[in-house]
């Protein structure tokens, strides 16, 4: 969807899978005479780092994964060459890998959400069974979920977000950290997509008693809603603190209409929201990526 928008407005696009370097893609970067330029060539198209406006990161493959003789060392050397070159270009990133990596840390998300003024459900991460027990006794209705998402090699190993009570056996918490969060009885799920300084909020009515919105069908669909002004202010504060150009926020709307911060996914999908609500998110992404660079000399805030 984004690439179509870019084509429509005549913005040149090059797709690169780091797994194709070396091989289908060729890279050269030269550092000389106090200056720098680099070139990437894919399928005969050549891109100069001087002309590179922006980088949009979408689930990149591992460098050199498609090489004739892949190895961890070849991946390390190729990653150095590719990302070292891209980081050297004074370009816009959606999102910069450095900030993206940190933004994946869920406990840190909650701290930044606090500082940004969101309502955050009381949450504990612990490897102490006694702490898990006390937290659940205090809050009574608690959900347990995974911090890192389901395991890649065996997704079924992770439960969906699950309601538990104080009578739970917490002994296994000592074997691996547990994420416990006060359950928010919700009347709707909210997905708020932030693209640069543009916000797209969408709402889907929840089934009564539904805990994890990712599982189970529902007759409801996503509908565009305005973002309350206070929420908008907090979103801008959050993405500024986190250094993100793109972020997908998930909230639970409770019976009083309060939006509770659940998480912020720096690489969250937006296609399903755009298709159901008609919100022009892909166009906003394309616009953010489009400006020709003027004199964006590298500075701390760009890295």
Residues 26-55 that bind a copy of itself (CB under 8 A): 26-36
Q: Which is nearer to a copy of itself, 105 or 275 (CB)?
A: 105
Residues 177-216 that bind a copy of itself (CB under 8 A): 177, 179
Site for a copy of itself in 244-263 (CB under 8 A): none
- Looking at beta carbons only, is 84 or 278 nearer to a copy of itself? 84
From the list 109-117, 189-197, 263-271, 281-289, the region that binds a copy of itself by CB under 8 A is 109-117
Contact (CB, 8 A) for 53 and 89:
no
Residue 181 or residue 279: which is nearer to a copy of itself going by CB? 181
> How is residue 60 written in tokens?
């990149």
CB of 294 to a copy of itself, least distance (A): 18
Told to check if 72 binds a copy of itself by CB under 8 A, we report yes
Tell me whether residue 31 or residue 272 sits nearer to a copy of itself (CB atom).
31
Among 111, 140, 220, 296, binds a copy of itself (CB under 8 A): 111
Interface residue with a copy of itself, options 243, 260, 270, 279 (CB under 8 A): 243
Nearest approach, Cβ of residue 45 and a copy of itself (Å): 15
Tell the residue number behind the tokens 């190993």, with chain if given: 157
**Looking at 4, 71, 162, 218, which residue binds a copy of itself (CB under 8 A)?**
71
Residue 163 in contact with a copy of itself, rule: CB under 8 A: no
Q: Which is nearer to a copy of itself, 181 or 193 (CB)?
A: 181
Residue 18, φ and ψ in degrees, nearest 5: -55, -25
Binders in 122-161 for a copy of itself, by CB under 8 A: 122-128, 131, 135, 146-149, 151-154, 157-158
* 115 sits near a copy of itself (criterion: CB under 8 A): yes
Using CB under 8 A, pick the residue from 80, 141, 162, 218 that binds a copy of itself. 80
Q: SS in 3 state form for the chain?
A: CHHHHHHHCCCCCCCCCHHHCCCCEEEEEEEECCEEEEEEEECCEEEECCCCCEEECCCCCCCCCCCCCCCHHHHHHHHHHHHHHHHHCCCEEECCHHHHHHHCCHHHHHHHHHHCCCECCCEEEECCHHHHHHHHHHHCCEEEECCCCCCCCCHHHCCCCEEECCCCCCHHHHHCCEEEEECCCEEEEEEEEEECCEEEEEEEECCCCCCCCCCCCCCCCCEEECCCHHHHHHHHHHHHHHCCCEEEEEEEEECCCCEEEEEEECCCCCHHHHHHHCCCHHHHHHHHHCCCCCCCCCCHHHC
Asked if residues 168 and 150 have their Cβ atoms less than 8 Å apart, the reply is no
Residue 223 vs 250, nearer CB to a copy of itself: 250
């Amino acid at each position: 969807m984004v690439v179509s928008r870019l084509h429509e407005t005549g913005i040149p696009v090059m797709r690169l899978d780091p797994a194709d370097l070396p091989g289908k893609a060729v890279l050269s970067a030269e550092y000389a005479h106090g200056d720098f330029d680099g070139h990437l060539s894919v399928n005969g198209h050549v891109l100069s780092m001087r002309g590179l406006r922006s980088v949009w990161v979408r689930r990149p493959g591992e460098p050199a994964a498609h090489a004739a003789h892949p190895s961890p060392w070849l991946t390390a050397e190729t990653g150095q060459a590719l990302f070292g070159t891209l980081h050297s270009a004074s370009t816009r990133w959606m999102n910069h890998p450095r900030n993206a990596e940190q933004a994946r840390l869920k406990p840190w998300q909650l701290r930044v959400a606090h500082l940004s003024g969101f309502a955050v459900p009381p949450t504990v991460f612990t490897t102490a069974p006694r702490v898990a027990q006390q937290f659940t006794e205090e809050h009574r209705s608690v959900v347990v979920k995974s911090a890192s998402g389901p395991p890649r090699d065996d997704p079924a190993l992770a439960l969906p977000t699950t309601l538990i009570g104080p009578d739970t056996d917490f002994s296994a918490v000592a074997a691996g950290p547990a994420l416990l969060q006060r359950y928010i009885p919700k009347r709707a799920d909210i997905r708020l997509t932030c693209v640069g300084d543009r916000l797209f909020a969408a709402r889907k009515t929840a089934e009564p008693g539904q805990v994890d919105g990712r599982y189970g069908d529902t007759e409801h669909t996503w509908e565009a809603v305005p973002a309350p002004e206070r929420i908008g202010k907090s979103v801008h504060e959050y993405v500024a603190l986190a250094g993100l150009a793109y972020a997908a926020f998930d909230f639970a709307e409770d019976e009083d209409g309060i939006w509770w911060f659940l998480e912020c996914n720096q690489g969250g999908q937006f296609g399903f929201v755009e298709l159901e609500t008609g919100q022009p998110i892909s166009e906003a992404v394309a616009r953010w990526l489009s400006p020709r660079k003027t004199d964006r000399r590298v500075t701390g805030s760009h890295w």
